[in-house]
Amino acid sequence: MHSAAWRISVWGTLAYACGTMLVFLFLHQFVAADIQRRSDAWLSGEVEVLADVAERTPKNALYGRVVGEIAELASKEVPNKVRGESTASDDSVFVLQIGAPGALQLWVGAGNAEPYLRAIQKSSIVPERPTDLRVEGISIPFRVASVRIDDGSHIYLGLSERDEMRVLNNLQLRFILVWLLLVLLGFAIVFYTTRRMLRHVREISEAASRIGHSDLKARVPTSARNDEVGQLAGTLNTMLDRIESSMHQLHTITDSLAHDLRSPLTAIRGKLEMSLSAATHGEQAEPIVSAIEELDRLNEFLNVSLDVAEAKADALRLSRSSIDLDELLHVMIDLYEPSMSERGLTIRLHSAGALVIDADSALIHRMIANLFDNELKHLPSACTVTLHLQTQDDTALLSLEDDGPGFAPEVSAHVFERRVKGKESHGHGLGLAFVDAVVRAHGGVATASNGPNGGARITLSLPLATARVM
Amino acid sequence: MRLLLVEDERDIQTFLRRSLEEAGYQVDVASDGKTAERLAHDATYDVLIVDLGLPDMDGISLILRLRRIGIDAPVLILSARRSVDDRVRGLEQGGDDYLTKPFALAELLARLRNLVKRNGPAGSEATKLRVLDLELDLLRREAIRSGELLQLTPQEFVLLEYLCRNAGRVVTRSMILDKVWGMRIQPDTNVVDVHIYRLRGKVDGKGQQPMIRTLRGVGYVLKDR
């Protein structure tokens, strides 16, 4: 779930949600201010009218009724009123007149005037400017405008903000619904498109890694569109073309080198063999025999050199088949055991049973022969070679450990390099370089070190057959 | 036994022709694909040796063309290439064989013999092999020399059986590795020799005529006379 498409969608949606939220907040602010402005205008107008009426009306018994009528009338035209409720409410408007000493002169409104009076006296309402007023026992505040009339009293006209808030709440609810819908839709679109785009990228990278493992002839899939992803595929393919051509170049060089050297070697060997069969005396045969042996060694050296050279360039050609390493080691030990015991060496195998890898059998055979030859040539007598074969996750782990003197300190850091060999060694110094090359060509790792008892330890890990299928 | 050798290197041609003739083959030589096709068309050969790197065409193409015109004699492919082509493997599964250059003559001759035998009439498989006073019972996996049972390990028996089947002929170390252990490797130690010494110790007892002979630089031979 932590794919790039998922992350991009989450971040993209977050940015988008914040943006739309800001727009909505701005709109809300604007609408709220507008509603406020309209009710304030109404309040100021009405309170002027009330003041005017209050001034002209004589202060007799009828005064309260006249001003009350006017207030009643005004309350019918309250702005922002929700339709259909005009008859029920008359707690939405009140008129209050306070005389100079602070005594209640007139009260038009629902319920008792006391809490209103107290609220007004506590607050500091300035004439000509509508202000919010909270009245005890009523949850919704009032908007109150006041005016001072000539007799020193104040008239307060209050309008409940209930309708205004209802409009705003309604608006908010709708905003939130639309916002959620937009965010979800945005997320879906972003997720879908990035996933589609990134699926293409994933296909490309999968194809590219497959190509790295198997043959270089395949190419990553390209799309018809010439977007960034299409260009990536194109660039990769161009790169693969170049790699393939330089690989091909390398193969051509090593092949023709091998061919050009092997043809004369074949002719020389043939001629030597013919003169050997003609030679009757031992002393005549001896130089011919040693020439043939030298020639065979030269040929093997040529093979290994070219293999190592190709493997260093990751260009070793493999023809894979299933190999049971356990079985192969048993056969190899069977082959090498007499030579080892002849030299006073012991070889032991600890194996957990059949273990199949998908590898080039000729190379693996030669590699193991190389390891065994190496032990045979370098170990002093009375030593023991111990082999461990086991699986670890998706790899076959083969370790080969002896209780000999180990790698000399001057070579131990680079035993897998070409031409590196101990002072006492008579080999051509390619043995372990070849082992490393073969292991690497199969996607494995070879390590060499001196074990805790001072002997040499070589560990090879090779991918199991099942790990390669994927 | 008539054989067609298709090889462009003059030096290899010369010594191969000579040794093949010495081994009793009647040899025709072609230096390129065209000539080979013409010769194969005109005459009937029991076996062919084809080098992969011919000047005018690829050796495998030549073999496939010959197959198409109905020539199905077995082919021994000679290759100086580094890797064994998948097409060569295909041919190998189809009954042909390959040998990488440089090779030992003994191995070339052994492979030729096998090719011809494989494609000839299948004789009934013997259950016993007899060479001089050495007798191998292939069913009971026992070897007896001069009436005395030899104490052989299973592997030593396989090795001795291989020598007996090729009695009187030279077998090389790489042939032994290939046939007895099933691997084409070239160890630079004397692993095969040690096996042979041990076997010799058991087969050629005291006072007996030695049967297993070492031909230095070539290989081994089990004497049959």
A377, part of any domain: yes
In 10 A of CB B120, how many CB atoms?
10
Query: pLDDT tier at A421 (50, 70, 90 boundaries)?
Result: low
Better-predicted residue by pLDDT, B36 or A316 = B36
Does residue B26 have a pLDDT over 90? yes
Q: Please give the pLDDT value at position A95.
A: 83
Do A270 and B12 count as a contact with CB atoms less than 8 A apart?
A: yes
Residue of A nearest to B195 (CA): A338
A99, part of any domain: yes
Judgement on whether residues A307 and A343 belong to the same structural domain of the protein? no
Does residue B224 have a pLDDT over 80? yes
Q: CB contact, 8 Å: B159 with chain A?
A: no
Do A317 and B12 count as a contact with CB atoms less than 8 A apart?
A: no
Which of A259, A366, A376 lies closest to B189 in CB terms? A376
CATH of residue A148's domain is 3.40.1840.10
The residues near A272 (Cβ < 8 Å, ≥ 6 apart) are A288, A291, A292, A295, B217
Query: pLDDT tier at B157 (50, 70, 90 boundaries)?
Result: very high
Which span out of A109-123, A206-220, B13-27 was modeled with the highest average pLDDT?
B13-27
pTM score over 0.95? no
A197, part of any domain: no
Judgement on whether residues A388 and A452 belong to the same structural domain of the protein? yes
Domain boundary among A168, A190, A206: A168
The number of residues in chain B equals 225
Span A372-395, mean pLDDT? 90
Which of B11, B105, B181 lies closest to A267 in CB terms? B11
Burial class from Cβ neighbours inside 10 Å (0-12, 13-18, 19+) for residue A121 reads exposed
B42-80 tens-digit pLDDT? 999 999 999 988 888 888 899 999 999 888 899 999 988
Angle (nearest 5°) at CA B71 between B68 and B77? 95
CATH of residue A463's domain is 3.30.565.10
Determine the structural domain holding residue A246 and report its residue range. Answer: 228-312
Mean pLDDT over the full length of chain A: 83
Q: CB contact, 8 Å: A253 with chain B?
A: no
Judgement on whether residues A286 and A340 belong to the same structural domain of the protein? no
CATH of residue A243's domain is 1.10.287
Q: Please give the pLDDT value at position A413.
A: 67
Which tokens go with A59? 């202060």
Query: pLDDT tier at A2 (50, 70, 90 boundaries)?
Result: low
Which of B83, B101, B184 lies closest to A266 in CB terms? B101
Which of B82, B185, B188 lies closest to A255 in CB terms? B82
Judgement on whether residues A12 and A99 belong to the same structural domain of the protein? yes
Which secondary-structure segment (H or E) carries A440? helix A431-441
Do A274 and B18 count as a contact with CB atoms less than 8 A apart?
A: yes
Better-predicted residue by pLDDT, A469 or A19 = A19
Q: Please give the pLDDT value at position A285.
A: 81
When divided into structural domains, chain A yields a total of: 3
Cα distances from A156 to residues A51, A132, A162, in angstroms, run 9, 12, 18
Do A342 and B194 count as a contact with CB atoms less than 8 A apart?
A: yes
User: In this structure, are residues B84 and A319 in contact, taking their beta carbons and an 8 Å threshold?
Assistant: yes
A206, part of any domain: no
What's the rounded Cα separation, in Å, for the pair A439 and A446?
A: 6
Q: CB contact, 8 Å: A273 with chain B?
A: yes
Q: Please give the pLDDT value at position A86.
A: 45
Span A450-460, mean pLDDT? 87
A247-277 tens-digit pLDDT? 888 888 888 888 888 889 999 999 998 888 8
**Residues of chain A with pLDDT > 70: what percent?**
90
Query: pLDDT tier at A420 (50, 70, 90 boundaries)?
Result: low
Q: Please give the pLDDT value at position A325.
A: 94
A391, part of any domain: yes
A294-350 tens-digit pLDDT? 898 898 888 888 888 888 777 788 888 899 999 999 999 999 999 999 999 999 999
Judgement on whether residues A296 and A325 belong to the same structural domain of the protein? no
Domain boundary among A127, A145, A168: A168
Q: Please give the pLDDT value at position B121.
A: 62
Query: pLDDT tier at A107 (50, 70, 90 boundaries)?
Result: confident
Judgement on whether residues A438 and A357 belong to the same structural domain of the protein? yes
Judgement on whether residues A255 and A131 belong to the same structural domain of the protein? no
Q: Which residues of B64-82 are buried (b: 16+ CB within 10 A; e: fewer)?
A: eebeeeebebbbbbbbbbb
Structural domains of chain B, with CATH: 2-119 (3.40.50.2300), 128-222 (1.10.10.10)
Q: CB contact, 8 Å: B23 with chain A?
A: no
Q: Please give the pLDDT value at position A319.
A: 82
In 10 A of CB A138, how many CB atoms?
17
Which tokens go with A158? 């209050």
Does residue A81 have a pLDDT over 70? no
Query: pLDDT tier at B124 (50, 70, 90 boundaries)?
Result: low
Q: Please give the pLDDT value at position A244.
A: 85
Q: CB contact, 8 Å: A129 with chain B?
A: no
Q: Please give the pLDDT value at position A419.
A: 57
Q: CB contact, 8 Å: B175 with chain A?
A: no
A443, part of any domain: yes
Q: Please give the pLDDT value at position B120.
A: 64
Judgement on whether residues A276 and A350 belong to the same structural domain of the protein? no
Domain boundary among A312, A345, A367: A312
Do B217 and A276 count as a contact with CB atoms less than 8 A apart?
A: yes
DSSP SS3 for B49: strand
Tokens 């009643």 belong to: A72
Which tokens go with A32? 């709220």
Region of poorest pLDDT, from A96-110, A244-258, A405-419, B141-155: A405-419
Q: Please give the pLDDT value at position A180.
A: 92
Nearest CA among B109, B50, B56, B57 for reference residue B80: B50
Judgement on whether residues A51 and A90 belong to the same structural domain of the protein? yes
Region of poorest pLDDT, from A49-63, A128-142, B169-183: A49-63
Q: Please give the pLDDT value at position A397.
A: 93
Q: Please give the pLDDT value at position A470.
A: 40
Region of poorest pLDDT, from A32-36, A154-158, A384-388: A154-158
Judgement on whether residues A379 and A251 belong to the same structural domain of the protein? no
A142, part of any domain: yes
User: In this structure, are residues B220 and B214 in contact, taking their beta carbons and an 8 Å threshold?
Assistant: yes
B79-122 tens-digit pLDDT? 887 767 777 777 777 778 888 889 988 889 989 988 888 766 65
A189, part of any domain: no
Which of B15, B185, B194 lies closest to A267 in CB terms? B15
Nearest CA among B12, B103, B8, B110 for reference residue B62: B8
What's the rounded Cα separation, in Å, for the pair A128 and A116?
A: 19
Do A334 and B188 count as a contact with CB atoms less than 8 A apart?
A: no
> Rounded to a whole number, what is the distance in angstroms from the first to the last CA of chain A?
20
Judgement on whether residues A307 and A348 belong to the same structural domain of the protein? no
Judgement on whether residues A283 and A324 belong to the same structural domain of the protein? no
Q: Please give the pLDDT value at position A469.
A: 43
ipTM above 0.90, yes or no: no
A209-229 tens-digit pLDDT? 777 665 677 787 777 777 888
